[in-house]
Structure 1
Amino acid sequence: MSDAKSERLSVFKTYKLFFGGKFPRSESGRVYEVADAKGKWLANAPLASRKDARDAVVAARKAFAGWSGATAYNRGQILYRIAEMLEGRREQFAREVADAEGLSRAKAAAVVDATIDRWVWYAGWTDKIGQIAGAANPVAGPYFNLSTPEPTGVVAVLAPQESSFLGLVSVLAPVIATGNTAVVIASERAPLPALSLAEVLATSDLPAGVVNILSGKAAEIGPHLAAHQDVNAIDLTGAGASQTAKELEIAATGNLKRVLRPQPVDWAADPGTERLLAFLETKTVWHPIGV
């Protein structure tokens, strides 16, 4: 009897895509093998298709009005709630980051701690970025002239390939903190931390469709998102080769997308406000004095 108990089968986790607040399999039914830094099999990840990318954009567009219309204070509360939930799953993410990036458990735990801190940092900026990006402009006449920042819209994000969790959060959090919605292509080599993050987002207070996460080949999905007419901006951080990034940048000109070009980044360094400002537009309003 005791021998039978010790020979129980392992229950392997089934990873799925995340868009519209749901966890569908890829419509193509395709998967690909994900291995750790030593080449040991970890899981099968869904291989997103062009239709999956389109569906994710539809979900992001549907969620944009509600998310951008929420108060900055409310967005900050929701982001902080996500950080609380990440803290509760710290051990799981430390294990996944260790496997994905070939780190010791102690170093992976330090990366996860830094990632949670980074999320809290961006949560704190939601109701402050308007104060540094907006202005009351002096004009020669009886008018108020006010400039205020507004979100760009739906942002496609090619997540960093090497930094599977800290880098991912560093490019995703500023996008949604400023009121945009996001379609993220996770690291192709190490997508599991991103797909686990989706589970946290789904059970937090984040409205469905604000963040949509696809796993698969950036070279396959990226061109469709870059050329998609309902995507307003694209972050090419994870585009890889300069030629690939250039091709995506050219594809993005079809509807004059904002483009954040790839550049060397130390993800552990102070992020500053550059990414918060990258996907904001400035609206200027004139109003007569005394009316």
Structure 2
Amino acid sequence: MPTESTSVSGSGRLAVRKTYKLFIGGAFPRSESGRSYAVTSSGGDFLANAALASRKDARDAVRAARGAFGKWSAATAYNRGQILYRVAEMLEGRRAQFIDEVSLSEGGDAASTVDAAIDLWVWYAGWSDKITQVYGNANPVAGPFFNLSSPEPTGVVGLVAPQESPLLGLVATLAPIIVTGNTAVVLAAEDRPLPAITLAEVLATSDLPGGVVNLLTGRVAETAPWLASHMDVNGLDLAGVTDPALAADLEAAAADNLKRVVRPGATPVDWHADPGVGRMTPFLETKTVWHPKGV
């Protein structure tokens, strides 16, 4: 696809527009298909090109997420919290860049949006070693046994990021997935992917292991069905699916291997509101063990 360029002031040459890549397994590969598409600002100005992910890219992302799941889920909750806090630190260091990108992508009070995204990483980092205490339990049973229930991560989760909030909405849906030990394959906001791609650069230079988060850009209607039907994906968050018919098709495809599905809300979500713990629990599975008491 040809790219648009603008003259560099006073130099007599044309600026080179960046073509962003995907983020898979901690690396930034080009799309297997070699395709890209133009990304424009909220005002219609050309900004850059983004990779147009294919079915093969989605499969590669799932493979990377599955490969990273064992180590990430086995990490201590405290360590996962440290890593999420490091992401917040890195995002804070690039705050000005994110404000520019959010302003171009969605307008509004970009500074407030970026600050809220940074604060969300910190907030979820604090929950890393507390969610088990809140949702785990020692159950009373009749007999000389300990009966203990503990939440565990479900596995690989596919996430269709919110379209209307490409940074804050993404953080608000991604952070609760990975803080509990899951790994993720994210479909970025289709028309506003730049904040998500820059966030991937932050993740790549933080302490997050490669493959824990994998980011695809492109057409949701083209890529999401492959995630929904993939037998090695264990959960699906449809936060960014705006077409009810597509949402129904994805949910039906997800039923083949009994994926846990978070449906898109019927009303717009206020991503600045108190998030609560409602997005951490859908991708947790409660495991219960019995142990005899000593005599």
TM range (shorter): over 0.9
Equivalent residue letter for 1:276 = M
Q: Is the 8 A contact 2:68 2:210 kept in 1?
A: yes
- Give 1:158's aligned residue: 160
Are 1:178 and 2:180 counterparts?
Answer: yes
Structure 1 runs (4+) deviating above 6 angstroms are none
Choose from 241, 246, 251 the match for 1:239: 241
How much does 1:13 deviate?
Answer: 2.7
- Give 1:278's aligned residue: 282
- Give 2:52's aligned residue: 47
Equivalent residue letter for 2:281 = L
SS of the residue corresponding to residue 20 of structure 2 reads: coil
Identity of aligned residues (%): 68
Could you tell me which runs of 5 or more consecutive residues in structure 1 were left unpaired when the two chains were aligned.
none
Could you tell me which runs of 5 or more consecutive residues in structure 2 were left unpaired when the two chains were aligned.
1-8
Are 1:290 and 2:294 counterparts?
Answer: yes
Equivalent residue letter for 1:204 = S
Q: Distance in 2 between matches of 1:126 and 1:271?
A: 15
Are 1:266 and 2:274 counterparts?
Answer: no
User: Equivalent residues in 2 for 1:101-180 (5 A)?
Assistant: 101-103=106-108, 107-180=109-182
Q: Distance in 1 between matches of 2:87 and 2:21?
A: 20
Are 1:14 and 2:19 counterparts?
Answer: yes
Are 1:79 and 2:81 counterparts?
Answer: no
Q: Is the 8 A contact 1:38 1:102 kept in 2?
A: no
Q: Deviations along 1:67-122, whole A, 9 cap, x unmatched?
A: 0000000000000001000000000000000000033xxx1011100110011100
Larger % of helix: which?
1
Q: TM-score, normalised by structure 1?
A: 0.96
Are 1:99 and 2:108 counterparts?
Answer: no
Q: TM-score, normalised by structure 2?
A: 0.95
How much does 1:12 deviate?
Answer: 3.0
Equivalent residue letter for 2:44 = G
Q: Deviations along 1:25-49, whole A, 9 cap, x unmatched?
A: 1010000111111111111110000
Q: Distance in 1 between matches of 2:107 and 2:82?
A: 34
Q: Is the 8 A contact 1:161 1:189 kept in 2?
A: yes
Equivalent residue letter for 1:168 = L
SS of the residue corresponding to residue 275 of structure 1 reads: coil
How much does 1:9 deviate?
Answer: 4.7
Q: Is the 8 A contact 2:37 2:50 kept in 1?
A: yes
Q: Distance in 2 between matches of 1:51 and 1:9?
A: 34
Q: Is the 8 A contact 1:49 1:221 kept in 2?
A: yes
